[in-house]
């Protein structure tokens, strides 16, 4: 990734009371859902991967589902994919702990297969609740499967990248999954273009919100 796009000095820190309230709501939600057995994935998972990060994050990052490293650790986007995601976030001006990172599914599908419709149906209400609590300005969606799942379409990744797309009430940007970038390093330039587009939009809406 290239140079820093946005200085975190320009962001307004969350109100301490709001931060504490959101953190408590996320912790309560995790406690209520961590033993979830609503679908078959509960039988094969090692860990329930709820997500982690800033409970008042401006940016939420959403992937498809935990992989082997995530299942083993209980944390989203660790291992090589997670390290690359951290670099992408830093290039955009965000430290990992400043954003909230999660997946659509909270349990690993066996063999990292794509999520099935009934698994998505079980997990999507939890994702909605997480987003209601965090209330981000922007969502970054990683990969075609995650984007197709949330937007309920079969469009190509190329047709969805690089522009703001509305999902529910959220402004979303779609780019390559870090695992795909590791397999195809020539796609990193396109990812950087997507991140630049996202941060231009972020700067614009942040300016509107903070205008007198």
Contact by Cβ (8 Å): 148, 137: no
Say what the pTM is: 0.93
Instruction: Say which residue the tokens 């953190």 belong to.
Output: 23
Dist. CA 180–CA 200, nearest whole Å: 24
101 pairs with which residues across the strands?
52, 61
Query: pLDDT class for 161, splitting at 50, 70, 90?
Result: very high
Tell me: pLDDT of 138 over 60: yes
**Domains observed in the chain:** 37-210 (3.40.470.10)
Query: pLDDT class for 61, splitting at 50, 70, 90?
Result: very high
* Predicted pLDDT at 3: 54
Mean pLDDT confidence for 135-152 = 97
Structure-model confidence comparison of residues 27 and 9, the more confident one: 27
* Predicted pLDDT at 210: 44
pLDDT mean across residues, the chain: 93
* Predicted pLDDT at 13: 74
Mean pLDDT confidence for 28-35 = 98
Mean pLDDT confidence for 26-32 = 98
Tell me: pLDDT of 136 over 50: yes
Instruction: Say which residue the tokens 């912790």 belong to.
Output: 27
Dist. CA 165–CA 150, nearest whole Å: 11
Query: pLDDT class for 207, splitting at 50, 70, 90?
Result: low
Contact by Cβ (8 Å): 195, 175: yes
* Predicted pLDDT at 1: 54
DSSP β-ladder status, 165-167 and 170-175: antiparallel
């Amino acid at each position: 990734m290239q140079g820093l796009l946005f200085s975190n000095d320009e962001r307004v820190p969350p109100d301490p009371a709001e931060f504490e309230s959101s953190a408590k709501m996320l912790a309560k939600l995790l406690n209520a859902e961590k033993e979830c057995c609503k679908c078959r994935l509960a039988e094969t998972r090692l860990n329930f991967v709820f997500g982690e990060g800033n409970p008042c994050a401006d940016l939420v990052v959403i992937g498809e589902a935990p992989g082997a490293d995530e299942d083993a650790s209980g944390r989203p986007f660790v291992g090589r994919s997670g390290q690359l995601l951290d670099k992408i976030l830093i290039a955009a001006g965000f430290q990992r702990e400043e954003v909230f990172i999660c997946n659509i599914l909270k349990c690993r599908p066996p063999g990292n297969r794509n999520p099935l419709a009934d698994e998505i149906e079980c997990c999507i209400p939890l994702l909605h609740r997480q987003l209601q609590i965090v209330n981000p300005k922007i969502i970054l969606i990683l990969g075609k499967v995650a984007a197709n799942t949330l937007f309920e379409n079969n469009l190509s990744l190329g047709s969805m990248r690089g522009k703001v797309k509305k999902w529910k009430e959220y402004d979303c940007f779609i780019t390559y999954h870090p695992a795909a970038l590791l397999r195809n390093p020539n796609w990193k330039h396109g990812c950087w273009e997507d991140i630049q587009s996202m941060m231009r939009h972020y700067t614009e809406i942040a300016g509107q919100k903070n205008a007198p």
